[in-house]
Amino acid sequence: MEIDRTRAMWPQIAAVVIQRIKDGTYPPGSKVPSIVEIAAEFGVVNSTAQRAMEAVRAEELTRSEKGMGTFVLTEKERGGA
């Protein structure tokens, strides 16, 4: 996905991360890149990356563990069988 720098960045970054979760780039149970790593990848400040990851979390696709990182939810964690 091409990032359009004339529009707000955080929703675009969130969309990329969500797509990576859905297409299996970040499979269930895997750790997603840190805020710092996402900020570096997209050339944005940490607060923009943080806002993007909050949007991903709001979609109930990830969980954060203090001191460990952010992980993609498994089907079981999402309420699946």
Given a contact cutoff of 8 angstroms between Cβ atoms, the answer to whether 13 and 56 are in contact is no
Contacts with 43 (C-beta within 8 Å, 6 or more apart), sequence order:
none
CATH architecture of the region 9-72: Orthogonal Bundle (1.10)
What is the structure's pLDDT at 81? 57
What is the structure's pLDDT at 79? 79
pTM score, whole prediction:
0.90
What is the structure's pLDDT at 76? 87
Sequence ranges of the domains in the chain: 9-72
Q: Could you tell me which of 52, 69, 50 has the C-alpha nearest to residue 1?
A: 52
Q: What is the pLDDT along the chain (81 residues), one digit of tens a residue?
A: 678 989 999 999 999 999 999 999 999 999 999 999 999 999 999 999 999 999 999 999 999 999 999 999 998 888 765
